[in-house]
Every structure is written in structure tokens, then in C-alpha cells.
Amino acid sequence: MPGLWTRLLGWDRESGRDRHGSHSWWDDESRHGLLPRYRASTLRSAIPAQTVTEVALRIRHLIEECVPCELKESHITSPHSRVITPKVIQAAREAGGRAHGACVVFCLLVNKRWWHHQAEVELWDADLHTLRAVACEVIAKKMIESEEDTEYLLHDVLLKRYAIVVDGKPTHPANVIEKAVDLHALRVIGSSGYQRCINFLWRGWLVQDENDPSNFIDYEDKANTSYRSHLDPDRMRSPIYQNAVQMLMSFVYLALYTVAMNSVNGDAGIDAVEAVLYVFTLGFICDEITKLWKAGYLILGFWNAFNSILYGLLTTSFVLRCVALSHPAGDPDGLRHHYSTLSYSFLAVSAPLFWGRLLLYLDAYRFFGAMLVVLKVMMKESIIFFALLVVIIIGFLQGFVGLDYAEDRSMEDILFIVQSMANAVMQSPDFGGFERFQPPFGLILYYCFTFVVMVILLNILIALYNSAYEDIYDNANDEFLAMFAHKTMAFVRAPDENVFIPPFNLIEIFVLAPGLEWWMDKPAYEHINDIVMGVLYSPLLLVSAYFETRWAREIRRNRARGEEDDDRVEEWEQMAAALDFEADGWKKTCDEAKSNLEEDPAVAEVRKLREEVDQLKKMILELHKSMTEGKKVDVGGGEEGNSEE
């Protein structure tokens, strides 16, 4: 099976290197991000790492000078901040000069990571360092939103990969899109230019160059209205289509499970529906293993653990069914029926996980996405509660067991203790049975346990949940945009050469790779893969080609008007060009009515008072001058009269 292992390991049989150019697939540098990537030896920094590091250090010095002490965060984040002024933003642009200005936003994100790290190691100045990290985000967002050259913004600022020097070696090259996702930089992710780039990546209008994965290029047929030109299996690399296939397969997976649960086989046999269900499960398991193999443990998250539990239950059900089939029908011990019933029991308890799994693919919609963000944060906050709960349960359990041993009780009493403690955690305590545990010590101890759990710990959990809910929903839009960007980058960061989505990956693993890849030349093998993918994804390609031709017509109309490709004419824009507010005087009326938001009202009043004081001072000087001149005239006239006399 050399072809299978070369696909899993990415190993090049000719050069002895992996297909991404790295000698060691477990290279630590490849695991710095949250998602799988290409190896660092293939990716290269668009600007030398030494130069990027120098720019980052210049920006660090600028932030230190502009934020010298602790301030309110609103002083940094307000739209017309007196700390992050246009001069500061211009100075940040000049940190890279004319030749290297594209890496400034990346360097700002690097500084954000530096400041957060310094806040962790220097707790006495944590607030100051955190504030400086916020300042980096604010400057980066304003630079992205103020950039007028879309081509330069997308291809050079956001998608070009850069590296810095750490310990004398360049780090793994990354772009701003990846860096912002890794750092959870909500302000940068929520900027208009960033979201426009994510939208282009999601639709497949920006794709990675096959010859140079570090470079992103425009999809050539984006404005091609020919239906046939979009019937290309390579379009399955677009995140929007991969997500659609995954969602479709999830609904099919759920339908198979529903049919299998409603058609119990009395003879413990495996019918066609169950067989397909287990084949789907095998494909999903192989996909999870492949991701873990390629990307390492850093890819593991909540949904990986969720899916692992589901696949574990289904695997257990399948193994038990095989054990049941190993016994003959009608055996006197009834083992075949016993293991078959146990198999269906494991299959039944996985139903909530099957339905909950749909949320993994519905998070691209805002309603489900915001809800999943809240759920994720709540699960993280629950760690504090469960850590305290485990310690308290162990302590009280040891006390109850000690009282039980003093009376020489049986194992049933220990099970009763554990069940009663679990009931107390679920807010259903049972005080009746503890009267026989060394009275009154057992009852008093259980009262103490119930008080600690129900009054103290559960209220702490409620407070944590409430805090998490408020934090997320106060910033729900940016949190959803961050999750959508994370989802998009999961497809874009390291797309496979041939996109076989589970369970179709079994065709690649068990048919194409071991049968063809190890001996066939690369162009012929890729051609066969394109044919197989074209057949597998033909229904979706027929639909996607229709939508892409519609998008192509919209793009051509926008280009004819001189607008951007993704522009959409809204209702209020349809007649806007027919009006001239400056000619009819409406613009002048609005200018007189609007307030100057860039100037603080108190500062404006002080400035007005200063002008009045200057006028008053000028009037006093003029009055003093005129009085002085008049006095001189009177004195001069008096002297002449005396001389005549």
C-alpha cells in the first residue's frame, strides 16, 4: 500500500521529501496555527524576514511612544481618538517605507501577539500591554479600511505571506487573513476590506496558485458567462461548495441513521442501510485521522471531540453487532440477541449527537453561528465550575466512604452515596438515606455538600454563563464574522490536491491511491482524479455552474458601470446619480446643520472663548494706544501755550 501511505504522509517517492518540500512532517513550525497549512520550506516570505522584523520593531517603538501609560480603552478605540490620530496612522504606514509598506498590517498583528505575551509574563503591567495590543488592532483596522487600491489591499496587504526572525531563524510565513484568525483579532476581522477578502475566498474568486501555494490569484473565469467553462471539478476547492457537499452528506448521514433506527433486524443482521451508515462512519473517521496526522494536535477542538464521541458510539455498535453475528441464531444462551440489543442501545443513545452534528455545517448562517459562539464560550467557562466540582466531590466522597467503612457497609451503600451526590449536583438531593451513616455525621456532611454545590457552585456557574452571554452578544456581529473567517480558512489554508469529501475519501484511500498513484505519472493521475471527481460531484457542479454564470453576468454589469466586481445596486442607489445636492443647495444646508464630531464640545467652547479673549485683548490694546496718543497731544499743546505767554 505505498500509494496510500504517500498520500497520508504527503511523501514524494522520487525526492524522499514530503510533497510540500519539508523533510519532517512533524515539524513544529507547521503546527503554529490552528489549522493545517503548507510546509514552511515551500512557502516563502514576500519580503525578507529580517526586513519584516525591523518594520515590526519600528511599529513597536511607535506604539510605546503613543501609548506611554494606562488609559481608558475608549480613548484608544473611539472613532476620533486623540491617541490614535491620523498622524499616528501615517507614521505606521511610513514604518515600512515605500518598498515594504504592504507588511505593516502584518507587523501590527505580530505586535499584538507580542503585547499579549508580555501581558502574560509581566502581570504588573498587564493592563498597559493589553491596551497597546488593542492599539495595534485599531491602527490595523483603520489602515485596511482607508486603503483605496483594492488590488493592492487584497493581494499584497492581506494575502501575501510574511515571516519574522525568531531565535535567528525565519518563522512560518503567514498572511494577515490567517494571522487575524489565529489571534482572534475581532477588530481586524470585522473591517470591511478583510470581510471582502473572506467573501472572495469563500466564493472561490481568489484561489491559491497551483504552482506557488504562497501566492493567491484571481479565478480566471470569474467573469466568463459560458456555462461549460464552470463545469470544472477544481471548483470543488471553493469553500462554498465544500461546505455545501458536507452539509448534504450530513443530511444523508442523518437520514440513514433514522432509517436504521426504525428498522430493527430481529436476526441481528446488517441490512443495506446500516451497511451504508457504517461506510459513511468509516469515511468520517478516516477524515478525522488524516487531519490529525497532517496537522497535529493543534487542530483539535470542540467539534473534533464531539464527532469522536459520535464515531466511537457507532464503532462500538458495529463491533457489538459483529460479535452478535459470530453466535449462531437461536443459541441457547441467547448471546446473539443480547449483543444485538446492546448494539442497538449504543446506536440509539447517539441520536442527540447526530442531530447536534448538523450545527457544525449550519454555522455559516448568522443565527446558528452566533448561537454556537455563545455555546463554545459557555463550555470554556464551565471548566472553572467542573474543576471546583471535581475537587469538592472527591473530598466529600472520601468522607462518606470513610463513614461507611466505619459501619462495615456493603458496596450498595457506596453506589447509593455516588448516586445521591449526583442527584445533589442535578438539584434533586435525597436526605433520607444518610441517617444511617454514623448519625448525625453523615446527614450533616450531606447537608454541607448540598449547600456548597447548590448554593455556591451552581450560582458561580450561572454567573459565568451570564457573563459569557453578555460578552458575546455585546459583540455578536464581530464574533460571527470571526467564526465565519475561521471556517473559510479551514478550507483555504491547505486544500488537498484532490478534494474528496467524506465518504468519497474512501475511494481515494482504498482505490485510487493504492491502485494508481504509486506507479502512474502525476499528469495522468491528476486527470483520472478529475474524471472521478467530475462524476461524483456532477449534480453539484451542474447547480454551481448555473450560479457562477449568474455571478459572471453581475460582474460584467458592474465592470461596465466602473464598479467593483462584488458591487450590488441597492434601492437607495438607483436614483442617487440623478440628483445633484451641491447644485440645489442641499449640501450647503447639511454642512451648516451637521456637528463637527472630530472636535470635543468642551474644546470647541474653550477655543471660542479664547478667540473672544483675544479680541478683547486687542480692543484693550487699541484703546490703551489711543489714550496714550491723546495724552501726548494734550501735553504737547500745553507746552506751546506756555511758551507764547
pLDDT in tens, 59-73: 999 999 999 988 888
For position 30, what pLDDT does the model report? 34
Q: Tens of pLDDT along 91-129? A: 999 998 888 999 999 999 999 999 999 999 999 999 999
* Overall average pLDDT of the 450-471 stretch: 85
Other Cβ atoms closer than 10 A to 44 = 16
pLDDT level of residue 438 (50, 70, 90 thresholds): confident
For position 637, what pLDDT does the model report? 56
For position 636, what pLDDT does the model report? 60
| pLDDT top residue among 437 and 315 | 315
pTM here?
0.79
Examine the domain organization and report whether 147 and 272 are in the same domain: no
H/E element holding 170? strand 169-170
Examine the domain organization and report whether 390 and 406 are in the same domain: yes
Examine the domain organization and report whether 297 and 382 are in the same domain: no
For position 78, what pLDDT does the model report? 87
Report if residue 493 sits inside a domain: no
Does 315 score more than 50 pLDDT?
yes
pLDDT level of residue 404 (50, 70, 90 thresholds): low
For position 634, what pLDDT does the model report? 63
Does 14 score more than 60 pLDDT?
no
For position 162, what pLDDT does the model report? 93
For position 133, what pLDDT does the model report? 95
User: What angle is formed at CA 548 by the lines to CA 544 and CA 552, rounded to 5 degrees?
Assistant: 175
Of residues 239, 200, 237, the one with CA closest to residue 222: 200
Does 541 score more than 60 pLDDT?
yes
Report if residue 286 sits inside a domain: yes
* Overall average pLDDT of the 358-385 stretch: 80
For position 434, what pLDDT does the model report? 73
Does 605 score more than 90 pLDDT?
no
Does 22 score more than 50 pLDDT?
no
Mean pLDDT is lowest, of 391-400, 437-446, 456-465, 544-553, for 437-446
Report if residue 123 sits inside a domain: yes
Report if residue 513 sits inside a domain: no
Does 508 score more than 80 pLDDT?
yes
Of residues 531, 527, 472, 526, the one with CA closest to residue 496: 526
Examine the domain organization and report whether 182 and 287 are in the same domain: no
Residue 111 vs residues 60, 118, 191, 377: alpha-carbon distances, Å: 6, 10, 19, 26
| pLDDT top residue among 397 and 468 | 397
Examine the domain organization and report whether 91 and 209 are in the same domain: yes
Q: Which of 488, 514, 543 is the last residue of a domain?
A: 488
Range of the domain at 108: 29-219
C-alpha cell at 281: 462512519
Mean pLDDT is lowest, of 349-363, 373-387, 395-409, 481-495, for 395-409
Percentage of the chain with pLDDT > 70? 88
Examine the domain organization and report whether 319 and 206 are in the same domain: no
Examine the domain organization and report whether 380 and 420 are in the same domain: yes
Mean pLDDT is lowest, of 162-171, 223-232, 623-632, for 623-632
For position 34, what pLDDT does the model report? 38
Examine the domain organization and report whether 586 and 611 are in the same domain: yes
* Overall average pLDDT of the 172-201 stretch: 92
333: three-class secondary structure by DSSP: coil
Of residues 500, 491, 494, the one with CA closest to residue 530: 500
Q: Tens of pLDDT along 192-210? A: 999 999 999 999 999 887 7
Does 312 score more than 90 pLDDT?
yes
Of residues 20, 279, 32, 19, the one with CA closest to residue 169: 32
Examine the domain organization and report whether 333 and 380 are in the same domain: no
Query: What is the rounded distance in angstroms from the CA atom of residue 35 to the CA atom of residue 182?
Result: 9
Report if residue 73 sits inside a domain: yes
DSSP character string of 396-461: HHHHHHHHHHHTT--HHHHHHHHHHHHHHHTT----GGGGGSTTTHHHHHHHHHHHIIIIIIHHHH
Q: What is the mean pLDDT of the chain?
A: 82
N- to C-terminal Cα separation, the chain: 136
**Count of the separate structural domains present in the chain:** 4
Mean pLDDT is lowest, of 163-172, 221-230, 434-443, 578-587, for 434-443
Report if residue 106 sits inside a domain: yes
For position 644, what pLDDT does the model report? 45
Does 8 score more than 60 pLDDT?
no
Examine the domain organization and report whether 328 and 442 are in the same domain: no
Of residues 158, 155, 174, the one with CA closest to residue 166: 174
Q: Tens of pLDDT along 265-291? A: 777 778 889 999 999 999 999 988 887
Examine the domain organization and report whether 346 and 445 are in the same domain: no
Examine the domain organization and report whether 295 and 379 are in the same domain: no
Report if residue 334 sits inside a domain: yes
Report if residue 34 sits inside a domain: yes
